[in-house]
Amino acid sequence: MNLALRRAGIGAVYGDPIDRLDVVRTPTASLAKLLADTHRAITGVPALVSVDGSLQRPDGSPVVLDNVASSEVVDEFDESVIDPVRSAERAMVLAGPGVVSAGAVPGLHALAAAGRLGVINTWGAKGVFDWRSQHHLATAGLQARDFDLAGLPESDLVIATGIDPDEAPLALWSSQPHVVVEPMQLDALSEHVIQRGDWAPVPELRTRLAAVTQDGWADIGSPAAPSAVTRNYGAIFGNGGRVAADPGQGGFWTARTFSTVELGSARVPGRSIPGFAAAAALVTRLTQPHRPVLAVVDAVSPETEGIVDIANGLGAGFSIEVWTVGGDALSAGQHLDRLQRLAFVERCEVVTLTTAGWQLDRIVDAAGPVIAWGGLAVSYQG
């Protein structure tokens, strides 16, 4: 049965034990579903849920072992997008997490290279380009003015692909001239693009955010500024590791200021999923045990506690950093030292952190109020 599942492209099963099948056991069906959903989100490989001796997909639909893999239907290439793309003088790409989940990042690279196009990604697509690439313009969708400051109003065509409306609400960008391209059609579209002369200029959003971010790096006091914390995240987990964060203060600053050089090194969901960060950390430990990983949360939810119990039972421990009022007020240097110890732990370890409050006001001044996840209702900064 294991072989049949592997041949069908299934990466893991979570839930109740089944004879002759390797199952990551969970005490509740809800935790099994959380882990199966997160497994696919993190690895790109589907996982199943075992409930009362039967296999299900995470959505609860039954599984037939002879046909367990869901087929991906790729529509024929939509030729109607060719003329608008070829005639555009100042086109840019807006890429969302659907590009990543579809495995279409190579197609995005091909399109950007063929047209010398700049790409704005939402935070669920962080890492589709190294942040230092000329194709990478900015990460957008977290704050109210992101899309305007990223240069969309100056573009004569937005090529939208893999968009999640939780990360890129239609009202904020769809009034611009645009075409929607399915992620799996990006490679085909690249063959029809005309390369324009100059690279797109660095958008105002990026320069504004860089100024605030770098001021945080320069602050050597205690507690550390949020961008100094995420800089440390990058130093320890940015190349070969992973930071998974729940929505909130820690998630916002990770999505906003983590300098991504590797796809998948920073993962923050587009909507609130209680326990996501811990589930992502556990899936990482089970599938890539030599990869350092950190879960970042604003509070330890019951789902997080449940994942911790499972992880400790499996000997697949990971660290959780909780951004909270009254947490440890560390300098940037002290925080970096602690992260080096937390990168690999045998049992789950929970630590707390308070960050300097001045930087949130500064970044709101730079790009408007936080709109991701409905905004940040509570500040966990000192």
Q: What is the pLDDT of residues 103-126, one digit of tens each?
A: 999 999 999 999 999 999 999 999
Residue-wise DSSP of 336-355: HHHHHHHTS-SS-EEEEE-B
Q: What is the pLDDT of residues 193-222, one digit of tens each?
A: 888 777 888 999 999 999 999 999 999 999
Domain 79-201 CATH class label: alpha beta
**Strand blocks (E) in the chain:** 12-15, 24-25, 47-51, 54-56, 91-95, 118-122, 136-140, 157-161, 178-180, 242-245, 266-267, 293-297, 319-323, 349-353
Average pLDDT, the chain: 93
Distance CA 244, CA 129 (A): 19
- Look at residue 77 in the predicted model and tell me its pLDDT: 82
Name the amino acid, one letter, at 86: R
CB 260 within 8 A of CB 238: yes
* Orientation of helix 302-314 relative to helix 276-287, angle to 10°: 20
CB 253 within 8 A of CB 233: no
Spell out the domain ranges in the chain. 2-67, 79-201, 207-374
Low-confidence ranges of the chain (pLDDT < 50): 1, 69-72, 378-380
Alpha helices by DSSP H, 133-203: 146-149, 186-190
79-201 matches 207-374 in fold: yes
- Look at residue 88 in the predicted model and tell me its pLDDT: 92
- Look at residue 69 in the predicted model and tell me its pLDDT: 47
- Look at residue 196 in the predicted model and tell me its pLDDT: 73
Q: What is the pLDDT of residues 263-308, one digit of tens each?
A: 999 999 999 999 999 999 999 999 999 999 999 999 999 999 999 9
Please state the φ and ψ torsions of residue 310, each to the nearest 5 degrees.
-65, -45
Tokens of 273: 């999923």
- CATH code assigned to 207-374: 3.40.50.970
Q: Which positions ≥6 away from 51 have C-beta within 8 Å?
A: 15, 16, 29, 32
